[in-house]
Amino acid sequence: MTGEQTIDCSAEHEEMKNTDEFYIPTLDCPQRLDGKKFPSANSCLPAEELEQLKERQRKANDLLLRLADINNEETENQGLRDAFENILDHHVTISLKMNEAPTKKGNKSLGGLKGKVVLAGRDFVILQSNNKEVAIPYTNVTKITLSHLRTDMSEGRELDCIDPILRRCLTFRFGKVVSGSLKLIQIFHGITLNILLLNLIDHTIKIVLEDESVVGEVFCVDKNSIEICIGNDLRKIPIHTIRYVITDPIITPSFSE
């Protein structure tokens, strides 16, 4: 067998003879050289590294889709929580909406709050900046801007490596154990803003409202409101009117213990 193959063009010749006025009877078919063929690789990375890269890209794309879908009312809180959990330790800018009635130009937005995402609760997020923590209800979030997007997102689960005694307690006394730990409540259910404020009793905080800021010591918290001491006065503030809350780093250090 030689290294050359002859291509049979007889059928093409017969068709050209009958239809093509430029048909040349003495036309010879070209000969095809039998050479080695090498498929082109779709990446210069080893297969294992390529799969890891694809997985990181998938997570990054999924995150961007979640960030773009924050206006879906039915899944807004869960969507925002998922988004913020995927960007923990990232630096972001959060734009807040105003609660005033719409004008001819539409609803206005406040300047962004900047900081590192340190906790994503069930209905709020905490940013850390300048040794302060800012708790922002999801209902006030209109836009999330990342300073940069990392692809080395953590894939570990927080309870994979725990003490055997704690594992046994969680198995047989789940409700009692979880309810006694702010960190476990966050892992299994997600803490709400009123639970966060409840853990700030006797601490001084700053509450930013629609048109004023209030500084005082947390006195009492229930599901719908918070009472703070301002000097000798006690003021009750509905939780749904809170734009954001500024505190010292009191809550989140306990989540790293």
**Cβ-based burial of 148 (10 A; exposed 0-12, middle 13-18, buried ≥19):** exposed
252 has a pLDDT exceeding 90: no
Share of the chain above pLDDT 70, in %: 66
CA separation, residue 208 to residues 32, 64, 228 (Å): 79, 29, 13
Q: Tell me the pTM.
A: 0.63
Mean pLDDT, residues 75-84 taken together: 80
pLDDT in tens, 86-100: 888 889 999 887 654
Q: Is 184 a domain residue?
A: yes
Whether the CB-CB separation of 196 and 121 falls below 8 Å is answered with yes
pLDDT band at 106, cuts 50/70/90?
Answer: very low
CATH classification at residue 247: 2.30.30.600
Q: Is 172 a domain residue?
A: yes
Mean pLDDT, residues 208-237 taken together: 92
User: CA-to-CA distance for 84 and 77, rounded, in angstroms?
Assistant: 10
pLDDT band at 158, cuts 50/70/90?
Answer: low
Q: Is 40 a domain residue?
A: no
Q: Is 190 a domain residue?
A: yes
Task: Quote the longest CA-to-CA distance of the chain.
Answer: 112
Question: In total, how many domains does the chain have?
Answer: 1
CB count within 10 Å of CB 213 equals 10
Mean pLDDT, residues 58-71 taken together: 68
- Residue-range definition of the domain harbouring residue 130: 47-151+159-256
Mean pLDDT, residues 15-22 taken together: 55
Q: Is 176 a domain residue?
A: yes
What pLDDT is attached to residue 85? Answer: 85
Q: Is 3 a domain residue?
A: no
Q: Which residue has the higher pLDDT, 180 or 203?
A: 203
Mean pLDDT, residues 138-164 taken together: 72
